[in-house]
Amino acid sequence: MSKHTPGPWTARQQFANRWLIEKDQGTNDAGEKLIPLCLAAVHITILEVGCGERDTEANARLISAAPDLLEALRGFLSAFPLPLRKDEKEAIEAAKTAIAKAEGRS
């Protein structure tokens, strides 16, 4: 399994076309809020790839949901009863492929 910063992550708009993906670091012993850990900056220039502000925001929110999506997918796989129908087997294979990609195994 790949190592990653555990969730939850949040997406916060910094500028019109720049979003930060951050991990809340909580508070120190004195109760002071610690500076969030910046995991990524999503910055898309309209001229570069044809994306607008809404696309940048959607991409940032999708990235920030990644740890939650991965855990939900793992839970989905463990909850399937047996025997499986063909469409259920296909859904499980798609889920396994997505998990492998997230874990760096594909």
- Kindly tell me if the per-residue pLDDT of 47 is higher than 60: no
46: three-class secondary structure by DSSP? helix
pLDDT in tens, 73-88: 989 888 877 788 899 8
State which residues form the domain around 84: 66-101
How confident is the model at residue 79, as a pLDDT?
A: 86
Same domain for 70 and 60: no
How confident is the model at residue 94, as a pLDDT?
A: 92
Distance CA 106, CA 6 (A): 21
Same domain for 17 and 45: yes
**Is 33 inside a domain boundary?**
yes
How confident is the model at residue 51, as a pLDDT?
A: 56
Report the run of H or E that residue 7 belongs to, with start and end.
none
How confident is the model at residue 1, as a pLDDT?
A: 47
Distance CA 6, CA 24 (A): 10
Distance CA 27, CA 39 (A): 18
pLDDT in tens, 31-40: 888 888 887 7
